[in-house]
Structure 1
Amino acid sequence: MKQAVYKQGAGGFGLVELMIALVIGLLLSAVAIQVFLSSKNTYRLQDSIARLQENGRFAIHYLSTDIRMAGYMGCGRIDSSSVNIVADDFSQSEFNNQTLVSGAENVAAGNAWGAAPGTDVIVIRRGSPASARLAGNLANSNANIQLHDNSLGIIPNDVLFLSDCVSTDIFRATNVSQGGGKVAIAHAQGVNSSPHLSKAYGMDAELMMFERVSFFVRETNGRRALFVHRQIGERTGSAAAVPVELVDGVEDMQLEYGVDNTANNLADVYVTASSIADWSSVVSVRLNLLLHGSDATATSGPGMTQAITFNDAAAASDGRLRQAFSTVIALRNRLP
């Protein structure tokens, strides 16, 4: 009977083979970790880009919608219809061709809006986008205004526009009452210089609330955001509106105004607010925004640094992704 013959060293593996296997394993693990980290950085960067662009689009849309409507007063225009102001504490200078749009450039600390120093502010004045039709013709110029409902939310002392395509009256409501299926808006003397409007309006007239809308960048809790202060009806005290944050991460806002020097309703030159002598010649606004992402490490990885210039200055390099947005907004009520 034959016996099995075993050779020494034929089973298992040696120290050298073990070390080689360990090195290969470590290399494969390092490659896998690097791929994972790279994918994670790419995802974080793409997510930051998507959020940044979404915020930028929203900010541009919101600003454009309001700025475009500066000077809105229904179907009439301030340069082609008569405006009669009887509201007390509401001067002719509050709503005229010079004040439909105005702005402040590179505001200092402690400004009236609480805006971040070095940023710009824009203020527009207009009638509210929402309006109400009269429920009947006015019997005379001092008659109460009759509406089907109070969907505008009018309260006493609100500054209101009553306008058709020919005339506009600006007055304060003295009383809001309901009866007989209608809402009556009184405009008596006391908060008005006269109880009489310029004429007895017909059912084709629109009733709107006066709005002063301010946009600015404010710093809160160590970060900056775009704010809007929408003052409706000149309300004060507990009824007054407060500034509202619109878009987080808006680091800077710079504005230029298109000035028409040739009376053709087209911008001949774009200048900053401090260079404008006649605001009635402004026909458009060039809006420039700088936004940063919320991720403080989005551009801190290897080869992910970002250099961006805004308003002729280098933006901060703190690991956050930044992007500049720009658009030109035409003022509809200054177009031919």
Structure 2
Amino acid sequence: MSICRRRSRAAGFSLVELLVALVLGILVLAGIAKVFINSKQGYRVQESASRTQENIRIAVDYFGRNLRLADLWGGVEPAQVGLIGAPVYNGPGGCENAWILDTASGVRGYAGGVSAPLGLPAGCLSDYVSGSDVLAVRYANPDAYVTTAQLGASGAGNALKTNGKYYLRAKVGQRAVLFDVTNDANRLRAISVDIPGVAEDGVLSYQYQTLLFYLRNIDFGRGPVPTLNMLRLQSDSLQAEQLVDGIEMLSFSYGVDSDDDGQVDAYRNAAEISNWQQVLSVRVAFIARGDELDRYTDTQQYPIAADRCYGPASSACSLKYSVETARFQRRLVVKDIQLRNRVRG
């Protein structure tokens, strides 16, 4: 009898014991899974914050680099730049206007609108982010210098039109001309008689650049994402380039020198400026948004400009982010950029 009892006790676990062990195992696995999911979500949000910081750095670099070149005309004033010929202006969505070659406005801003800022053709900016400002920047590109020999070479028109076919030829301190390098008559005229009474020595040529910064909604497969976009003058048309995703709202204010003392007197929005040559600096303000939903709901109101704020749908701000995007992390970035070619002494 004693042998049988020992065998019975060593036979294994009962059904109740197995069920208890199974439940405990499931609870432990559930706890581990929850910790793993939370850790993974935290990691993804942290990675999103890192990408946002990198996007901020890239966006600031784009604005800074191009605004510091604005109004660079080879050592002459904007009023001293003439236009040879009658170029054709083209662009996406009917974006055709003389402002493409407007050397009188090295910087020109457009206040945000519902479908497109006032002053620009309605089809100029595809998938435009409503309410965001737009900025045009123009200059002679110092990184795209060409010699007189290059301009006069056979086939120069086609060889030099990469990234834009318009060139500026300038004599420092005197005058300059803007011309179409693919037009042989105007190109050769620009070499020989573009600046009457001025010798060819010391005359420099640069590729002309027009850029238009704006926000555009682009679908990368997870729904529309607000993206910093740029229209760049390529050949005889403006071509769209996407620069930085996750830039949700964009505003520009302009430092104006109203008494001509070389100092900024006040910052104003685009609608308040009548003379763009008085602008000495640009205040760039934008909202950078993460690409992963966080565990909290953003209710903050961001002062995107002196007269505007950007906030949730329930706020009194004129610019709002939607309920669907309220769980994204956001950062307000404000940067003052001096226009070096307008600052005296």
Q: TM-score range by the shorter chain?
A: 0.7 to 0.9
Letter of the structure 1 residue corresponding to residue 176 of structure 2: D
User: Of the candidates 148, 152, 156, which is equivalent to residue 134 of structure 1?
Assistant: 148
Change (3 A) 1:167 1:18: same
Q: How do 1:1-336 and structure 2 match up within 5 A? A: 6=5, 10-11=9-10, 12=12, 18=18, 20-74=20-74, 76-78=75-77, 83-89=80-86, 94-96=102-104, 99-110=105-116, 111-112=120-121, 113-114=124-125, 115-129=128-142, 130-135=144-149, 146=152, 153-154=160-161, 158-173=165-180, 185-187=187-189, 196-221=194-219, 222-231=224-233, 235=236, 240-295=237-292, 298-299=293-294, 301=295, 304-310=296-302, 311=304, 312-314=309-311, 315-318=321-324, 319-336=327-344
Change (3 A) 1:152 1:211: farther
Whole-angstrom CA distance in 2 between matches of 1:65 and 1:261: 25
Could you say what secondary structure the match of 1:161 adopts? Answer: strand
Whole-angstrom CA distance in 2 between matches of 1:73 and 1:152: 22
Could you say what secondary structure the match of 2:288 adopts? Answer: strand
Could you say what secondary structure the match of 2:238 adopts? Answer: coil
Whole-angstrom CA distance in 2 between matches of 1:245 and 1:67: 18
Instruction: Say if 2:76 and 2:170, in contact at 8 Å, map to a contact too.
Output: no
Could you say what secondary structure the match of 1:327 adopts? Answer: strand
Q: Identify the residue that residue 139 of structure 1 maps to in structure 2.
A: none
Superposition RMSD in Å: 3.5
Letter of the structure 2 residue corresponding to residue 41 of structure 1: Q
Could you say what secondary structure the match of 1:187 adopts? Answer: helix
Instruction: Tell me the matched-pair count.
Output: 299
Instruction: Say if 1:294 and 1:320, in contact at 8 Å, map to a contact too.
Output: yes
Once the 2 structures are TM-superposed, how far is the Cα of residue 39 of structure 1 from its aligned partner? Answer: 0.9
Instruction: Say if 2:209 and 2:232, in contact at 8 Å, map to a contact too.
Output: yes
Instruction: Say if 2:256 and 2:280, in contact at 8 Å, map to a contact too.
Output: yes
Change (3 A) 1:86 1:43: closer
1:285-333 per-position Cα deviation (integer Å, ceiling 9, x unaligned): 11112233334xx21x4xx333343331313343433333221111110
Q: Percent identity?
A: 24
* Structure 2 unpaired stretches of 5+: 88-97, 312-320
Instruction: Say if 1:77 and 1:333, in contact at 8 Å, map to a contact too.
Output: no
Change (3 A) 1:327 1:171: closer
Instruction: Say if 1:209 and 1:232, in contact at 8 Å, map to a contact too.
Output: no
Instruction: Say if 2:177 and 2:194, in contact at 8 Å, map to a contact too.
Output: no
Change (3 A) 1:15 1:267: same
Whole-angstrom CA distance in 1 between matches of 2:3 and 2:130: 93
Whole-angstrom CA distance in 2 between matches of 1:228 and 1:21: 62
Letter of the structure 2 residue corresponding to residue 71 of structure 1: D
Letter of the structure 2 residue corresponding to residue 27 of structure 1: L
Q: TM-score, normalization: structure 1?
A: 0.75
* Structure 1 unpaired stretches of 5+: 137-144, 178-183, 189-193
Whole-angstrom CA distance in 2 between matches of 1:317 and 1:323: 17
Instruction: Say if 1:132 and 1:152, in contact at 8 Å, map to a contact too.
Output: no
Change (3 A) 1:42 1:148: farther
Whole-angstrom CA distance in 1 between matches of 2:181 and 2:231: 25
Whole-angstrom CA distance in 2 between matches of 1:333 and 1:218: 29
1:22-45 per-position Cα deviation (integer Å, ceiling 9, x unaligned): 443233222211110111111111
Could you say what secondary structure the match of 1:293 adopts? Answer: strand
Change (3 A) 1:77 1:196: closer
